Amino acid sequence: MEAQNNKIASLIIKYRKTTLNNKEQEELNAWRSLSEENETLFQSLTDAPYLSELKVDLRADWKKVKQLYKAETGRPYPMGRSKFLSIAASIVVLLTAGIIWLSLPSSRNEPVLSKIEPPKQRNTPLIVKNSPQLPTEVTLTFSNGSTCQPDKMDNGSHIDYKSSRVVKVSNKKLKIIPLPVKINTPSGELNEAFHTPSNELNETFNTPGSELNEVTDIALNTLQIPSGRTYELELSDGSTVLLNAASTFRFPTVFSPTHRNVELIGEAFFNVRQVTLDGTNKIPFTVSALGTIVNVLGTQFNLNAYDDETITTTLITGEIDLIHEGSTTHIQPGQKAVLNNGHFSIRENVNIAEEIAWKKNLFEFRDTPLRNIMQQLTHWYDVEFVFNCCDSTSYTTTASRGEPLPEFLENMEETGDVHFEINGRRILVTSK
């Protein structure tokens, strides 16, 4: 029983970290299907709000990690970034995973490092003000209302929806592939046509006979990314969108032959392919984000449009136009547009590495106000910060987003005059 519990706990931990291979996924699915109790237990142990509301003293657990390190090495744990950080982070994950061990049946009682009590009542999380609760897994909702969870799909598997195929490329990527459809030509003959160009740049949407057949489904599907995750989507035109944590992206499985429209709430890095209708006329790519329209032809840019933050757009290559309340702002590579009082202001020669550090799973801040830092932590760790002070104090720091939140906050305490009090998912910010 003990060995089996260890095995199931390990599989659930890997599932939450999206590191299961196909064989391990099959083992976990088999265990879940054995009984209704197993499935209920699995759902509880993969429910982020449930886990985060368990009364686990992570700060005390982190101190235990440091004590273990000192006992093993005879030296105090280094506070800076070091090769031991990943080891310590893994230990903290295992400490937290004690929740899973306690929930599994056992033939004997084992000592635990933290007192754990299940919550009497679960409350709606305060992730982003005035936004619905995000799922704990990546969720794709099709335009007809049906849903799927890519995390539960095997790599290489697919779902056919209308005139497209949704393929799970990896644990962090989906790809939309248009399928050939039969359409009527003026002569009444049936011909196969694709809704999108193939893999070459600057191609056309022309059907046989150079006659354009508008057979495109432009209904929007919705991809939701939970906190603590990033996910990539390759659209039917070959453009790619890397979505940051706590983001919602709406898109058609197949674009219209004359325009490409998508919607975003959250943050995403866009790599937009340039495509043409007839070899000369470029088909625009438009992103709608909280009242702002981003017009693109072919370019790379980062768009931050969380509904609790100021909208910003940083252009890497190409050119884009930003439209807000009828006013148009044009930006060039290396520029960042920031929405203030209904108008965009332009910042020159921005630090591109800092703007897109999240793509490399990093937090990177340079003289950044504490409130802005905490907003990023809110989206990534699924917590809420309550400020009693210090929200405008600036900090400069770089850290891995795989770093446990208590360690990140403790490092900030040691380099500033701020103090954090962790109470479940709500964190009080006070001065020392």
CB 408 within 8 A of CB 399: yes
Helices 405-415 and 370-381, packing angle to 10 deg: 170
Q: Is the pLDDT of residue 100 over 90?
A: no
CB 415 within 8 A of CB 408: no
What is the residue-wise DSSP string for 314-378? EEEES-EEEEETTEEEEE-TT-EEEEETTEEEEE-S--HHHHTGGGGTEEEEEEEEHHHHHHHHH
Q: How many CB atoms lie within 10 A of CB 349?
A: 8
- Over residues 371-415, the pLDDT tens digits come to 999 999 999 999 999 999 888 888 888 899 988 888 889 888 887
Domains of the chain: 2-103 (no CATH), 139-355 (2.60.120.1440), 361-431 (3.55.50.30)
Q: pLDDT value at position 244?
A: 97
Provide, rounded to the nearest whole percent, the portion of the chain with pLDDT above 70.
Answer: 67
Beta strands in 384-425 (DSSP E): 384-387, 394-400, 418-423
pLDDT score for 24: 80
SS3 (DSSP) at 79: coil
- Name the least confident of 29-38, 99-108, 260-269, 356-365: 99-108
Whole-number Cα distances in Å, 266 to 16, 88, 225, 385, 400: 22, 31, 9, 18, 20
Tell me what the mean pLDDT of segment 107-118 comes to. Answer: 36
